Structure 1
């Protein structure tokens, strides 16, 4: 049985305050609280239907390689964002990393500013992700290892890593990173939104992860929202829910409760078949806020442009698929490559990604469909 919106949010907010993981944004000393539903919906009414891709350039294996000075490649960013624009995409989701700020805050800001200018030339407004709980838990600056042959996303790194989560003395560095990055671009309308934490309670099934990782993240997550809000950004804040049951607050995880109670606009991930994708949207509609799907499209898992994108348009839900141009992340390979690398033969179909590095679409039908649904038309081939 679905809980009515007002009661649901009262329960969620109370659960966050009682969770022992930190107070909500307003009670944490931030100068601005969570947006009202009215403000969030007024913001969304001014946006086009948001369609885009999670983007890392094809020559980068992860966030560090994308933005470090030695491997920063604006020319390639320009070319690949041009491909996104050509099929009607108007946003990309881009991951940052806290060590980039610690290493060289001024240089990082300069490169991020240049990236935003490149995106703006292509009429693309990025959603920027500050923290991420997925993959390698010991990120290191400097040269990154080459892709592991046959393995999906073999070089992606977390932010913060295990040390940043387990060492209390690291927290001021994380606060400085959030305040510094958000503060530098808080009034910049080239940015669509801030995604505070990607899949915060994802344990990755790794023995290298802290055993109490979820509890550690739950303690930091509301603080991270508060640090961002202290900078009074004109862009909304969010953190995408991705697992569990969202139809009843009593079934939600502690992390999901925090995410839904803190987010100005609601975002979610779903790589489900179309029936499951639509069901996820319906679970979130009672919250009465704009909804963005910030990860979808895994062909081998049943999530495709053909089926999911029309559903997103039907409900006016933003849709950001995983992967734009196939490259060093190797996300054209399926998830099962983690345990069974595709070293002798490629998979029958690509898992993620839209384009080859030379700009050819993986499936012409898909790019034609995206153009049709976004109103871009097919003349831009």
Structure 2
């Protein structure tokens, strides 16, 4: 239900805090985490940005939030058997208009629920542009992969200790608003926290240290809202099989996460090795980013393997649009302006809603046992 009165706004923000279960204020036990996972169908989905949005801000700002596109594109996801989406939020949206942001997020969750999709909501992100700003966003840079994505918090906010209470307010406020909402699958506290983006942006020299200090507090803030959903932050780089070789941030991610998540864009042999390195933690495993066709990570090879290993699989991208993530990573150095890549990097559907490759969507329907195959489709 959307917020329409001050009373409903009050209930949305305050009731979860009043009636929260105290057992959610600490990390879930292995038994709790595995029991939660056992209640889920096999989780398959995508990292979702509407095709008309270049980033998180454009997805949720009042002037550009588009329920009709969300509805159409999540319908495409449902039609091929997807039942989750990973959706990125942005702290400046809360600072600008917390009630309006919650209202739009509530509307998005209602649309997703109609399509039997439960999103994972991402609170912070260390990737890409380090100085985000509200308002109109620049158009896509021709030929460049993900040319308008923004971090949360930005470099200035991350470096300013006086801004931390605002970040805490954002985390507690958003998680509280949906803490007992079964339309939300999980909370991803921080995407690739120690990613320094190859020094392409103006970022603090001590960014990794700043993030390592804030990450445990971000988990603590989220837990203070007593969410009924699990918390996670996906490991993405380095060695995860030997605690002695784990980075400081990886140690925090693995120690704080209720369910374990990870990223892998490599060949299936590498994907399996990464999963095996995490199985000793005895918790559910969710791959929250994979599928880069040109790098050896494809639906054909990874999806059957993920199902065999009982790993949730969430690829990057759904419908080709303003993020331009069908273009490969090397477009940062060599934009694809005069020619297009032979093979799409990410995305499942073209902008006209037709599949990039029919066999991929048929495979998803086959493996999930869900979805609605088109007339005449063969698996």
The answer to whether the superposition gives a TM-score over 0.5 is yes
1:209 pairs with 200, 203, 206, which one?
Answer: 203
Secondary structure of the 2:198 match is: coil
For 1:299-310, list aligned pairs within 5 A.
299-310=293-304
CA contact (8 A) 2:130 2:155 kept: yes
Secondary structure of the 1:195 match is: strand
Cα deviation, residue 379, structure 1: 3.0
CA contact (8 A) 2:43 2:84 kept: yes
Which residue of the partner structure matches residue 264 of structure 1? Answer: 258
Which residue of the partner structure matches residue 35 of structure 1? Answer: 28
1:251 pairs with 222, 242, 245, which one?
Answer: 245
CA contact (8 A) 1:368 1:378 kept: no
2:271 pairs with 255, 270, 277, which one?
Answer: 277
Q: Does 1:364 align with 2:358?
A: yes
Cα deviation, residue 378, structure 1: 6.0
Moved over 4 A (4+): none
For 1:233-244, list aligned pairs within 5 A.
233-244=227-238
Which residue of the partner structure matches residue 53 of structure 2? Answer: 60
Q: Does 1:324 align with 2:321?
A: no
CA contact (8 A) 2:79 2:371 kept: no
Q: Distance in 2 between matches of 1:94 and 1:69?
A: 17
Q: Distance in 2 between matches of 1:30 and 1:147?
A: 45
Secondary structure of the 2:86 match is: strand
Which residue of the partner structure matches residue 311 of structure 1? Answer: 305
Cα deviation, residue 118, structure 1: 0.1
- Superposed CA deviations along residues 249-287 of structure 1, whole A, max 9, x for unmatched, are 001000000000000000000001000001000000000
Secondary structure of the 2:197 match is: coil
2:69 pairs with 70, 73, 76, which one?
Answer: 76
Q: Does 1:194 align with 2:213?
A: no
For 1:81-92, list aligned pairs within 5 A.
81-92=74-85
Alignment: residue pair count:
353
- Superposed CA deviations along residues 194-223 of structure 1, whole A, max 9, x for unmatched, are 000000000001251111100000010000
Q: Distance in 2 between matches of 1:227 and 1:75?
A: 33
Secondary structure of the 1:205 match is: helix
Which residue of the partner structure matches residue 151 of structure 1? Answer: 144
Q: Does 1:172 align with 2:194?
A: no
For 1:210-225, list aligned pairs within 5 A.
210-225=204-219
Q: Distance in 1 between matches of 2:106 and 2:173?
A: 13
Q: Distance in 1 between matches of 2:97 and 2:300?
A: 42
2:292 pairs with 295, 298, 312, which one?
Answer: 298
Q: Distance in 1 between matches of 2:307 and 2:198?
A: 34
Which residue of the partner structure matches residue 340 of structure 1? Answer: 334
CA contact (8 A) 2:125 2:152 kept: yes
Q: Distance in 2 between matches of 1:375 and 1:31?
A: 33
Q: Distance in 2 between matches of 1:64 and 1:30?
A: 34
CA contact (8 A) 1:332 1:351 kept: yes
Which residue of the partner structure matches residue 13 of structure 1? Answer: none
Report the aligned-residue RMSD: 1.2
